[in-house]
Amino acid sequence: MHTTTIRSRTRLRLAGALAALLVAAGVATGPAAQADERHGKEPTLADLAQRHGRYFGSATDNPELVDEPYKALLGSEFDQITPGNGMKWYATEPQQGVFDFSKGDEIVDLARAHHQKVRGHTLVWHSQLPGWLTSREWTPAELRAVLKKHIQTEVRHYRGKVFAWDVVNEAFNEDGTYRETIFYKTLGPGYIADALRWARQADPRVKLYLNDYNIEVIGPKSDAYHRLAKELKAQGVPLDGIGLQAHLALQYGYPTTLEDNLRRFSRLGLDTSLTEVDIRMYLPATEEKLAQQADWYRDLTEACLAVRRCVGITLWDYTDKYSWIPAFFPGEGAALPWDEELRPKSAYFAIRDALR
Ligand code: 9MR
C-alpha cells in the first residue's frame, strides 16, 4: 500500500516533469492541443490565446477582402477583427446626418461567419474626418450635438455586434498635453467624458476604451492617460479600458516598461489591450532584424499574458502585403508576422512560442 502510494506519487511527478519538458520544448499538452495534434492540425494563434483567456486578432480593410488566400488566413488564424478604416467618421457619416454603415457591416458579417469578435474603431478622432465637419466653424453647442449624434447613431447600429469601442482615439500629445483637435478646441477636455457617457447610453454593455500610440512605455503620454483614467473613474464616467496601439519600430528600442505599464492600468480597474501591433524596420529586412523583431513579438505577447486584465492582442493587419507602414514611413516596412506572400515569418513562430 505504502509502496504503491510512493510509486504512484513518483509516477505523477514523472508525468509532471515530462509535461514541463514538453511545454519547455514548445509542445502543446492541453486536451484541445492533443485533439488537434491527433488530427494533424496545428492550433491557431486564436486557439493558443484562448487557453489563456485572451483573444488574438488582426485588423483588416474592405479593399483586401477580394483576396481569397488572404481572407482564408484572416478567417482561420484569428478570433478577433478590427476594421482598419470602415467604421471611421469619414466612412460612416459622409454627409451630415446621412449614415452609411456598409463598410463596417461587411467586416462585421465576415467576422460573424468565422465566429470572431469585433473591436469598433473609432468614434472620435482628429483624423479621417468628413469634409463637412472640418471645413467650417462650429459653436460649442452645435459641435456637441453633432458629436453626440454621431457617437450614438454608430454605437446603436453596432450594439451587440462589437464587444468594445475605441471611443476616443489619440487624444494626447507626446508631452502629455491635450492634442488641440477640433473637439478639444471647441469643447474643452470635457469632450472625452461626454463621449464616453453618450456611448454608454447607446450601448450599456459594450466595453469603452481610450486608445493611443506611444503609450506602451511609462512616460509623459501614458502618465496623462493614467491620470485621466483615474479622474474619470473617480467621477463615475464609464471607462472600461485603455488600448495601447503598439506601433513599434526597431530603431526606437523595445518598450521595456510595457508590462509594468499594463499593470498600473489594471490596478485602476481597467482592461488593457494591444490594439494595433506592428514592428517596423528600415528596409531591407535582414535575418538579424527579423530575429530581433521576432523577439519583440514574443516579449510583447508575454507582457500581455503576464497581466491578468490585458484581454488580447490585435495586429494592425497580419501581412506585410497590406501594412500601412510603407506608405506612411518611406523606406520602412516588413512590420508584420506574415510576409507579402502570406508566408509566416520568425515573428509568427515567436508569438506561438509565447502563447504555448
Ligand atoms: O490603417 C489605417 C490606414 O489604412 C489609414 O490610411 C490611416 C489613416 O491615418 O489610418 C490607419 O490606421 C490608423 C488607426 O486608425 C489609428 N492609429 C494609427 C493607425 C495607422 O495610421
Element (H, E) at 165: strand 164-169
Say which CATH number the domain at 246 has. Answer: 3.20.20.80
List, as one string, the DSSP characters of 103-133: HHHHHHHHHHHTT-EEEEEEEE-SSS--HHH
Each residue's pLDDT tens digit, 135-193:
999 999 999 999 999 999 999 999 999 999 999 999 999 999 999 999 999 999 999 99
Res 356 pLDDT > 90: yes
**Number of domains the chain is built from:** 2
pLDDT band at 6; cut points 50, 70, 90 = very low
Ligand 1 neighbourhood includes 134 CB (under 6 angstroms): no
Q: Are residues 181 and 325 in the same domain?
A: yes
Q: Which of 232, 260, 250 is nearest to 296 (CA)?
A: 250
* Any ligand 1 atom below 6 A from CB of 128: yes
Whole-prediction pTM: 0.90
Are 222 and 178 in the same domain? yes
Same domain, 232 and 339: yes
Q: Whose CA is nearest to atom 2 of ligand 1?
A: 84
Q: Ligand 1: which residue has its CA nearest to atom 13? A: 84
Same domain? 199 vs 249:
yes
- 324 CB within 6 A, ligand 1: yes
Say how far apart CA 162 and CA 176 lie, in whole Å.
Answer: 30
Residue nearest to atom 6 of ligand 1 (CA): 324
Is the CB of 82 inside a 6 Å radius of any atom of ligand 1? no
Cell readout for 325 is: 507602414
Task: State how far the alpha carbon of 172 is from the alpha carbons of 101, 218, 294, in Å.
Answer: 28, 14, 30
Q: At 333, is the secondary structure helix, strand, or coil?
A: strand
Which range marks the domain in which residue 9 is found?
1-43
246 and 323 co-located in one domain: yes
Residue 30: is its pLDDT beyond 60? no
Any idea which residue has 473617480 for its cell?
234
Q: Do 38 and 57 reside in the same domain of the chain?
A: no
CB-based burial, 215-252: b 16+ in 10 Å, e otherwise: bbbbbebbebbbebbbebeeeebbbbbbbbbbbbebee
> Which residues participate in catalysis according to the annotation?
170, 276
Ligand 1 pocket, mutate which of 316, 318, 325, 332 (most atoms under 8 A from CB)? 316
For residue 8, the model assigns a pLDDT of 38
pLDDT for position 41: 82
- Taking only the tens place, the pLDDT of each residue in 61-104 is 999 999 999 999 999 999 999 999 999 999 999 999 999 999 99
Regarding whether 2 and 85 lie in a shared domain, the answer is no
Residue 231 in contact with residue 261, Cβ under 8 Å? no
Same domain, 140 and 274: yes
Do 173 and 215 lie in one domain? The reply is yes
178-190 CB burial, b ≥16 within 10 A, e <16: beebbbbebbeee
| Residues 34 and 175 both lie in one domain | no
Using a 6 Å cutoff on CB, does residue 63 contact ligand 1?
Answer: no
**In a shared domain, residues 229 and 256:** yes
CB 293 within 8 A of CB 250: yes
Distance from Cα 308 to the centre of ligand 1, integer Å: 28
Distance, CA of 287 to chain centre: 27
Do 198 and 337 share a domain, yes or no?
yes
